[in-house]
Chain A
Amino acid sequence: MIKGKKGDAFEVVIWLVRYIFIIIVLFVMWFFIDAFILNSIDTKEVEAHVFIQRTIYSKHALAMPNYYTQRIYPGVSNALQFYSQDFDKSIDYLWDDQLAANITLKDYSKLYNEHSYNNWLPLVEYRYMKELGLLDLEEEKRLEGAGAITEINFNTTMLYYDGIKNSVVPLRYRVFVPNS
């Protein structure tokens, strides 16, 4: 131990360094433990795909029923079925902030949860501006985390019944799910 006033002052500095070091170690441990505690689950992709499959198989969505037996032909649709079904009523989340989508069958297109879709579209389109390097850092931050929108695209094919025969046509989905 160093004697004298200078020595005391030196000791205090040494201990302060120690305490600071201990505090840092303890906080690191705290954050390390906290990092392993999960309270949220990311189900945006699942949510979108459950919605997509529901539109394909539900008899109140795209799947066309037999006129006489009312049995469903999964994977077969046409323009009449596409436009006659009100998806907002047959797939109704009651809360507008769950999911929105643009569905395109052949050349026909319709919006699901149109109000939210139109609200969220600028946020999604912003993302493409980021890829082009047109945004500054502050603007880029708004595209991530809670409040931002995740876009999920899904392309498949469906049989299109025109009253005489079936033909394979593209079925495209552009689904928006909020991050919150």
Chain B
Amino acid sequence: MRLFGSKRGIMEDLSVYLIQLVFILGYTVVIFAFISGALKNTTFEKAYITRDLAFITDAILASPGNVFYEYNFSDYNFLMEFSNSRVIASDKDGKNVIYYSYASDSNYITKNFSSEFPPKSINLAKEGNVFRINKTLKPNLNAPDCSAYGAPVNPKKILIDIPHDSANPGYKIESENTELLSVCRIGNYLLHSKNPNIEFSFTHPVNPDGNLNCYQRNPVFMPQVDYVVVFHGGALMSYELSPAKAYVQRDSAKEKENSRLACQLVNSILSSEKLEQFTGSALISADSSLSNTHIQMDKIDPAISTIVLEIGNIYVPREKNQLFSEAIIGESIIEGLSSND
């Protein structure tokens, strides 16, 4: 081909080359937009993660024993959700959803779960007959096996007693130890809790402001309840590992049932994600006089079982501070009372 053969030829050739140039430039823009879109597209990553998590969940539910698994998210910024037997991954705004199904097991109690954004990790834990998603995998080797004490016990009516000590029916108004008062605040949290399945009553009167009167106890109290739970702040100097303790009546006809409930309460406190100071547990078999020491001044039907729950030692600084987390301890107690673990 002869380039620029004449003026007309020049114009023709130029126009042809210009058309070609525009054509190539347009194509380049489109192909770059296409590649850029493909690079930003996270469909593959979401498909991979949802499948991976679904298969891991299947494997955990298949295991005969207890399993704890931590799934780390290193570079992926997705909103993760476990809902209706599906692992769901989406963008931060909940768009571009990709999901994959896993097989749930109706023999395990499972709750739906939504991660924060971005998720650092998702923890999967199968313990007893409960499958938890995002349960903190803290050392829990000291947790007692509640199934050894028979079927779960879920009492509906609980009398909470918050004594000062065996000799003193109520807190001293002046110069009272704030740590001890914090134990009373846990009772106050339960008073205001709105759990339709559990009805709490208290050996302390309720003030006109709607809160428990921590400085006074009702001298006579004979309610119709299923259980009495006595809150106890440990006050012995001790170097033992911080245990969640419960004292159970040894000579009761319902010893096994009592132990089951005490175990549920201790386990619930021990497994709470936010009560990290508790690293051990103890179920202590005590005679009835010890269990009843705290409420001997009240007239309680002796047929009603009593559990003394020690929820921290005021001489151990880390536990003392923990006593101020009344909402967390209160929630753990409610969870323990309604536990099916």
Q: Which residues of A contact B (CB under 8 A)?
A: 1, 11, 15, 19, 22, 26, 29-30, 33, 37-41, 43, 46-47, 50-51, 53-54, 57-61, 63, 70-72, 74, 89-95, 98
Contact = CB atoms under 8 A, between A and B. Distances in A.
Interface stretch (B102-110, B223-231, B288-296): B102-110
A47 to B, nearest CB: 8
Contacts of A92: 85, 103-106
Contacts of A53: 59, 62
A38 B12 CA distance: 44
Given A26-B27, A93-B85, A58 B101 contact: no
Which 6 A-B pairs give the minimum distances between C-beta atoms?
A72-B64, A54-B62, A94-B85, A91-B103, A89-B106, A1-B5
B64 A59 contact: yes
A61 B20 CA distance: 68
Given A54-B103, A91-B103, A1 B55 contact: no
A39 B85 contact: no
Interface in B54-87: 55, 58-59, 61-65, 84-86
The secondary-structure label for the interface of chain B is helix
Contacts of B58: 50-51, 54
A157 to B, nearest CB: 19
A60 B107 contact: yes
A38 B85 CA distance: 26
Given A38-B44, A54-B62, A57-B63, A93 B102 contact: yes
A94 B51 contact: no
B31 interface: yes
Contacts of B65: 72
B31 A90 contact: no
Given A30-B31, A57-B62, A95-B101, A90 B43 contact: no
A99 to B, nearest CB: 8
A41 B59 contact: no
B1 interface: yes
B165 to A, nearest CB: 43
A39 B43 contact: yes
Given A91-B105, A92-B106, A33 B64 contact: no
A90 B64 CA distance: 13
A58 B59 contact: no
A61 B64 CA distance: 10
Contacts of A38: 44
Interface in B93-128: 101-107
B220 interface: no
A60 B105 contact: yes
A130 to B, nearest CB: 29
A95 B55 CA distance: 16
A1 to B, nearest CB: 5
Contacts of A61: 62
Nearest to A33: B35
Given A92-B106, A93-B85, A41 B44 contact: yes
B315 interface: no
B59 A95 contact: no
Given A30-B34, A58-B62, A41 B48 contact: yes
A41 B61 contact: no
B41 interface: yes
B282 interface: no
Contacts of A33: 31, 34-35, 38
